Amino acid sequence: MNIENRQTKALQPGLFNNIFTAMVMSLFIAISFNSHASDDLLEVDDAFILQQPTISNNAIKVEWRIAHDYKLYKDKMSVTATNITLAAPQFSKSKTVDDPLFGKSEVFKNSATITLPYSGNATSTEVTIKYQGCSDKLGVCYPPQTRTFTLDLPAAAETKAESSSAFGSLSALNNFLKQDSGQPELLDAEDAFAFSHKINNSGQLEVHWNVANDYHLYQDKIKTSVIKGNATLGILELPKAELIDDELFGKTMVYHGQFSAQLPISQITGQATIQIEYQGCSAASGVCYPPVKKQIVVDASKINTASNISTNTANIATASVNSGEELSETDQIADTLKNSSVWIVIATFFIFGLLLSLTPCVFPMIPILSSIIVGQGDQLTTRRAFVMSLVYVLAMSVTYTVAGVLAGVFGENLQAAFQNPWIIGSFSAIFILLALSMFGFYELQLPSGLQSKLTSISNKQQGGTLTGVAIMGFLSALIVGPCVAPPLAGALIYIGQTGDALLGGTALFAMSMGMGLPLLLLGTSAGKLLPRAGAWMDNVKAVFGVMLIGIAIWMAERIVPAEVAMTSWALLFMISAVYLGAFESTAEKSGWLKLAKGFGLALFLYGAMILTGLLGGSTQMFQPLKVFQGGTGHGAVQSEHLVFKTIKSQADLEAELAKGQPVMLDFYADWCVSCKEMEALTFTDSGVHTALKGVTLLKADVTANDDIDKTLMKNFGIIGPPAILFFNPQGIEQKAQRVVGFKNSTDFIATIKKAYQ
């Protein structure tokens, strides 16, 4: 809040007319370019109705009535007055919000009031009020507003009552238009960012901007896409930008003056419409323009004639141009989608899926599907096992595809939304119940008559069982494996940039089927390999029951303390050991039973080691006794792990970047399997510790997946963890070295060296 006292002085008439026109024009630009909001966005004076200021008890009272879903910023309010001295302002109650533009801000909704006590003997005063607000629903912000009122003070109220008028009157409007704003006139977007284009001699689309003085264009807001026809776009080749500390977006790269960029185009047939999107601001007035979208129709004959090469050669030329700029792994995958045929995309992503099937994100689905098939008992045949496995994999793949497309289009990770304690706890409980049914605990739970009736209905409705399998596949895709791997991130980047949900979704479905192929093979083979009936079948069910309990504990690890999870694992191993006959005599027993006893003893010892390590302060399940090596107590374990400083918002990150040190930012969540892998296997490596000396280590814990977490991830185009970003001392991200998904220590060290070489 800036309350300024001014004594009487001559004001230069004329320029307020210009700023009023500029503000009206700026609002017109905002409305016209946000076509999706044009029918709903209110005029500024309807969104924020400023009342005629009133005077009572030697105080000026300023009031606004604010429309629903609109807000005014407290720190953007300013009141000045002539002839009198204003005291400290008194505000009505405000609300603190995490604003996507200004960070944590105090705002007013529905209404706002400022009371300003004053002193002085003047008979009249001129009050100037400045304010700025936004539409929450549409995400549109208005330019700063200025309103001026002439008020009669109580001592002269009787003699000048007839000269006093509301702002809405013609005389007050004329007074407003005559005042001097001290701000420059705002240019039209077409003049502020003059745009032109042509096809150059290399068959590339060349676009040119001439940015007016005191204006700038944002580098990361320049986007290209094909909105009509068939064409493949390469990477837009932009010149070097300038780093500024922008009041809206923080440290960011911008362009001034004149500059050009080249866009390679290949595989074009007929005519295609290319869209160039960009956005800029006026540095002098602090007003930002809505994104501008220019559509250019490109003819294939002109592209081929100018380049004088075939389509295939054009693809090679595009690749050679792009090879000069190093891309991150996810960007390379997105580029593959842009520049490859549909069949190459399908084959590539199917192979990606096969590789992902070997990761911990898919492993838990093996006992889930296997236990469903084993649960069929005597009804199991090879054909039925195949059908059930196929239904499970298809349900998982369709869900994974739809969730991915939605994430690419809207930037919302549906899988992350399912990682809350209630959903995970419920799913873990379901697995416990399924496991207990494997042990036969439910055989006598229902009256025999009701049980016979349910069995009869089940036998008549085979589809009901398949529906249950499909539901389990659907839930598994959303809850069990919420991992973000480079192929997934690359496909989502492609969908977000081009809007091509069809090709992006096809790639995701191919990848999902690749992930599901091992599940399909294992499930089908169960129809041949598993015993049909008898005690063997009961033992097999018991084994899968133990696996389901293990899955329940593995999922519960995301929401319970590490000590509870380790205790659960230890008890599971030790109790399973008892059932395997670890403490029974093997006299006159078969070789198989002796083997089972050996496994039982091993499980019991491992469970005992977990409990021992837990009592010593360890939280490492796979190395529970390491806490007793090289020192004592919890501190010895902690020394092997990287020490991160946790941040929450974009403002927290910018504060760290402003210190001028290299920074590594790790996006982490308790429910992220690959994040736990990185912590246990990569971040404990001594070589990684050495490579990161002198680097500030930050962790963005997005476990809660709240609005602040979503905003921070959206700022960097991240759908979900794990993701690791590297920033140089100037605060610029080294995008080519961005890590998405798990990386082993050797590859991670190489990435660190490239980022800070």
- Comparison of pLDDT for 315 and 421, the residue scoring more: 421
Mark whether 113 and 243 lie in a shared domain: no
- In the structure encoding, which two tokens stand for residue 635, read together? 């501190």
What is the average pLDDT across 401-428?
A: 71
**Residue 36, pLDDT above cutoff 50:** no
Q: CA angle, corner 594, sides to 589 and 600, nearest 5?
A: 135
Mark whether 145 and 249 lie in a shared domain: no
* Domains in the chain, number: 4
User: Cα separations (Å) of 213 from 44, 169, 184, 245, 278?
Assistant: 28, 37, 12, 18, 17
**Among the three residues 148, 178, 208, which one is the final residue of a domain in this structure?**
178
Determine, yes or no, domain membership for 213: yes
What's the CA gap between 406 and 177, in Å, rounded?
49
**Residue 409, pLDDT above cutoff 80:** no
412 pLDDT band, cuts 50/70/90, is low
Mark whether 66 and 134 lie in a shared domain: yes
Domain of residue 730 covers 641-755
Mark whether 193 and 271 lie in a shared domain: yes
Mark whether 284 and 154 lie in a shared domain: no
- Determine phi and psi for 632, rounding to 5 degrees: -125, 150
Mark whether 174 and 197 lie in a shared domain: no
User: Cα separations (Å) of 296 from 196, 199, 237, 274?
Assistant: 10, 11, 17, 5
> CA neighbours within 13 Å on the CB side: how many for 219?
18
Q: What is the SS3 string spanning 525-564?
A: HHHHHCCCCCHHHHHHHHHHHHHHHHHHHHHHCCCCCHHH
**Residue 623, pLDDT above cutoff 60:** yes
Q: Which pLDDT score is estimated for 692?
A: 92
Mark whether 483 and 357 lie in a shared domain: yes
What's the CA gap between 199 and 383, in Å, rounded?
59
* C-alpha 516 chain-centroid distance: 26
What's the CA gap between 691 and 510, in Å, rounded?
37
Q: Which pLDDT score is estimated for 749?
A: 92
Cross-strand pairs, 255: 217
What is the number of H-type helices and E-type strands within the chain? 25, 30
Mark whether 215 and 170 lie in a shared domain: no
What is the average pLDDT across 658-672?
A: 88
Q: Which pLDDT score is estimated for 176?
A: 47
Report yes or no: 278 and 221 within 8 Å, Cβ to Cβ: yes
Report yes or no: 134 and 69 within 8 Å, Cβ to Cβ: no
18 pLDDT band, cuts 50/70/90, is very low
Specify the DSSP element, H or E, that contains 508: helix 501-529
Mark whether 159 and 17 lie in a shared domain: yes
**Among the three residues 178, 211, 237, which one is the final residue of a domain in this structure?**
178
**Residue 321, pLDDT above cutoff 50:** no
Mark whether 399 and 313 lie in a shared domain: no
Report yes or no: 549 and 565 within 8 Å, Cβ to Cβ: no
Determine, yes or no, domain membership for 311: yes
| Burial of residue 51 (number of CB atoms within 10 Å: 0-12, 13-18, 19+) | middle
- Comparison of pLDDT for 322 and 576, the residue scoring more: 576
Q: Which pLDDT score is estimated for 360?
A: 66
Q: Which pLDDT score is estimated for 377?
A: 60
**Residue 504, pLDDT above cutoff 80:** no
Percent of the chain at pLDDT > 90 equals 7
Of 8-12, 196-200, 375-379, 554-558, the range with the highest mean pLDDT is 196-200
386 pLDDT band, cuts 50/70/90, is confident
Determine, yes or no, domain membership for 585: no
Report yes or no: 425 and 433 within 8 Å, Cβ to Cβ: no
**Residue 599, pLDDT above cutoff 50:** yes
Determine, yes or no, domain membership for 551: no
Determine, yes or no, domain membership for 647: yes
Q: Which pLDDT score is estimated for 222?
A: 92
Query: Which distant-in-sequence residues (6+ apart) come within 8 Å of 27 by Cβ?
Result: 43, 44, 142, 143
What is the average pLDDT across 175-189?
A: 57
Mark whether 18 and 115 lie in a shared domain: yes
Say which CATH number the domain at 721 has. Answer: 3.40.30.10
Mark whether 156 and 254 lie in a shared domain: no
Q: Which pLDDT score is estimated for 551?
A: 80
Q: Of 160-164, 202-206, 364-368, which gets the smallest average pLDDT?
A: 160-164
Q: Which pLDDT score is estimated for 706?
A: 83
- In the structure encoding, which two tokens stand for residue 322, read together? 């792009």
Determine, yes or no, domain membership for 617: no
Determine, yes or no, domain membership for 596: no
Q: Which pLDDT score is estimated for 323?
A: 37
Q: pLDDT tens-digit profile of 163-181? A: 334 444 444 444 444 444 4
Q: Of 323-327, 376-380, 544-548, which gets the smallest average pLDDT?
A: 323-327
Report yes or no: 194 and 210 within 8 Å, Cβ to Cβ: yes
What's the CA gap between 316 and 266, in Å, rounded?
10
| Region of residue 58 (phi > 0: left; psi between -120 and 50: alpha; otherwise: beta) | left
**Residue 572, pLDDT above cutoff 60:** yes
- Comparison of pLDDT for 4 and 568, the residue scoring more: 568
- In the structure encoding, which two tokens stand for residue 361, read together? 């994100």
Mean per-residue pLDDT over the chain, rounded: 75
Q: Hey, what's the torsion of the CAs at 165, 169, 175, 181, to 10 degrees?
A: 110
Q: Which pLDDT score is estimated for 357?
A: 76
Determine, yes or no, domain membership for 729: yes
Q: Which pLDDT score is estimated for 666?
A: 92
Per-residue burial over 241-250, b if 16 or more Cβ lie within 10 Å, else e, is: beebebeebb
User: Cα separations (Å) of 100 from 111, 158, 222, 285?
Assistant: 21, 49, 20, 20
What is the average pLDDT across 100-113?
A: 83
Report yes or no: 179 and 13 within 8 Å, Cβ to Cβ: yes
**Among the three residues 485, 505, 534, which one is the final residue of a domain in this structure?**
534
Say which CATH number the domain at 251 has. Answer: 2.60.40.1250
What is the average pLDDT across 687-707?
A: 89
Q: Of 221-235, 331-345, 563-577, 712-726, which gets the smallest average pLDDT?
A: 331-345
What's the CA gap between 457 and 446, in Å, rounded?
15
